[in-house]
Structure 1
Amino acid sequence: MPAPLVFITGASSGLGQALAARYHRAGWRLALVARRESEMKNWADAQGISADSYEIYSADVSVIDSIAAAGQACLQRQGVPDVVIANAGISVGVDTAVRADIDVFARVLATNTVGMAATFQPFIAPMVQRGSGRFVGIGSVAGIRGLPGHGAYCASKAAAISYCESLRGELRGTGVGVSTICPGYIDTPLTRQNRYRMPFLMRPEDFAERAFAAERAGVSYGVIPWQMGVVAKLLRLLPNGLFDRLLAGRPRKHRQAEPPAP
C-alpha cells in the first residue's frame, strides 16, 4: 500500500510549509500547491524530502481553472488524496470608500472563499466513490466577528467557515469528512505586517502540530490555539454597542496601497 497522500495549497510559505513538514514527518506523501514553484522545490530539497515522496503543482487558487487543473494533475500523477487542505489565503486591509479597494475585496474573496471550493471540487467525486477522505478548510478567528478595516478578510473567512459547514452536511454518510480549522494569530509573513497586538501568537510549527492532531481526530471545527477560541466566543456574545466601543481606535490592517508596518 502506498503512503497516504495530502494535497496542500499555499505550500510555498508559512502555514502551508509547516503543515507539509508535519505530514511528511508522519510518513505521508505530499502534493504541494502554490504559485511559486521554485520556492516549493527549494524548500523540499532543504528539508531532505525524497523526490519520490512529493509532487509540485503550480497554480493560483484565485483562478478556478488553474487550481482545478492542479487537482486533475494530482489525480493523474499521485492518485486520490486522503486529505485535501485548502490553506492558501491572503489578508489585506480595505476601505470600502476607495474604488480600487473593491477590486482588492474581490481578489480576497476569490482566493480565500471561492478558491477553497475550487480546491476541493476535483476530489469530491473520487473521494465519495472511494468512501473515505477528509477536506480541511483553513478559516480564521477573524471570520467570527467583523473587525474595522478587515472587511474583505473577515467576510472571506466567515464565508469559508459557513461553506465548510455546508459541505460537511452535504457529505454526511459518504465516509468523507470535513474539518474547519480556525487559526488565531500565527507568526507568518502575513501577520508580521500587522500594526496591532496579537495575543497568543503561535509559531507555524506549533499550529501545524495541533492542526495535524485535530484532522487525524476527525474534528469538525476547531480554533487553534484554544485561548483564541474563548476570546472569539466572548466577542461574539458582546452586544454590538459594546463591541463597537471596544474596537474604536484600533489600528487597522494595512491596505494594498499603503506600505506595510516596519
Structure 2
Amino acid sequence: MNEAHTAGAERPLVLITGASSGIGQALALRYAQAGYRLALVARRSEALQAWVDAQKWDDQRCRVYRADVAETGSVIEAGERCLAEQGVPDVVIANAGISIGMDTSERDDVEVMARTFATNNTGLAATFHPFVSAMVARGTGRLVGIASVAAIRGLPGHGAYCASKAAVVAYCESLRGELRSSGVAVVTLLPGYVDTPLTQENRYAMPFLLSPEVFADRAFDTIEAGTSYRVIPWQMGVVAKLLRLLPNPLFDRLLAGRARKHRQGEGRATG
C-alpha cells in the first residue's frame, strides 16, 4: 500500500484491538501515517477516545469501539459495528492481550490461566470472526495475530502466557491453511521485548528492547508484505531458536533462579 493516496479516493481501513496503549497505540499512529482510516478497539474506551481527540482525528478518520476481548460477545459486537459503520477492513490486528505470571500450586492462578486464554486466544478468534467471510467474498484482506517470542519455549512462572502465545502461533497457522487461495493473508507476529506498560515492571533483563514506534514500523512493513511469520526483532528470533535447540536439562539449568513474571496483584497485567 502506498503511503500517499489519491485525493478523494476511499482510504483503506485497519481495525486494531488493544489500541489504548503500547503496541496497539503505536500501530494506530503508524497506520494513520500511512493514510489508513482507523477502527480502534479497547476496554478503556474513554481513555482511547481522549487520545484520539488529541490527535484531532474526526469520525471519518477514526472510530473507537468499546469491547472486552475476554468476552466473546463483546468483541464480536464491536466488529459488527465496525462493519456497519465503516465497512470491511483491509487489515485486522488482534493485538489485545494480557500477561500475568502464574504458580500452578495457587488456586487463584488457575483462574488467571483461564482468563489469559479467554483474552489471548478465544478473544483473538472472536476478533477475526466478523470479518472472515466478508474478506473472503471480497478476495482480499490481512488478519494479523500478535503472538510473542515467548511462544517458542516455556519459561518458569510464565506458564499461562507462554502457552497462550504458543496457541496463537498454532491457531494462526491453522487459519492460514484454511484461507489459502482465498486472497486473505494471515500474518503471525512474534514481538520480542517492547517498551510498553506490559513489560516495564519485568524483573529480568530484556535484551534487544525496542520502542513501540520501532516495533510498529517493522510490523507495518511485515503486514504490508503479507509475510506469514516474523519475529521482531530478528535477533530475538535467533536467540529463541537457539534456546529451542538446547536439550531440556541444559535449558532448565540455564533458567534456574531466573526472576519470574509478576503474579496477579504484584504488577501490571494488561497490554
TM-score of the pair, normalised by structure 2: 0.94
Partner SS, residue 19 of structure 1: helix
Q: Is the 8 A contact 2:12 2:36 kept in 1?
A: yes
Match for residue 77 of structure 2 among 64, 69, 81? 69
Is 2:114 aligned against 1:106?
Answer: yes
Deviation at 1:259, TM superposition (A): 4.9
In the other structure, the counterpart of 1:209 is 217
**Superposed, which structure 2 residues align to 1:91-240 within 5 Å?**
91-240=99-248
Deviation at 1:193, TM superposition (A): 1.1
Deviation at 1:46, TM superposition (A): 1.7
In the other structure, the counterpart of 1:31 is 39
Partner SS, residue 195 of structure 2: coil
Match for residue 256 of structure 2 among 248, 252, 257? 248
Question: 2:71 & 2:227 partners in 1: Cα distance?
Answer: 29
Deviation at 1:47, TM superposition (A): 2.0
Residue-by-residue CA offset, 1:198-237 (whole Å, 9 max, x unaligned): 0001100000000000000111000000100100110111
Residue-by-residue CA offset, 1:80-132 (whole Å, 9 max, x unaligned): 00000000000000000000100011000110111100100110000000000
Deviation at 1:69, TM superposition (A): 0.2
Comparing 40-49 and 178-187, the one that deviates more: 40-49
TM-score of the pair, normalised by structure 1: 0.98
CA RMSD of aligned residues (A): 0.9
Partner SS, residue 105 of structure 1: helix
Partner SS, residue 205 of structure 1: helix
Question: 2:144 & 2:38 partners in 1: Cα distance?
Answer: 15
Question: 1:124 & 1:26 partners in 2: Cα distance?
Answer: 24
Residue-by-residue CA offset, 1:2-22 (whole Å, 9 max, x unaligned): 100000000011000000000
Is 2:26 aligned against 1:21?
Answer: no
Q: Given residue 193 of structure 1, which amino acid in structure 2 is its aligned partner?
A: E
Question: 1:79 & 1:133 partners in 2: Cα distance?
Answer: 12
Match for residue 44 of structure 1 among 32, 52, 66? 52
In the other structure, the counterpart of 1:5 is 13
Question: 2:29 & 2:140 partners in 1: Cα distance?
Answer: 23
Q: Given residue 129 of structure 2, which amino acid in structure 1 is its aligned partner?
A: Q
Question: 1:80 & 1:21 partners in 2: Cα distance?
Answer: 20
Give the % identical residues: 67
Q: Is the 8 A contact 2:201 2:267 kept in 1?
A: no
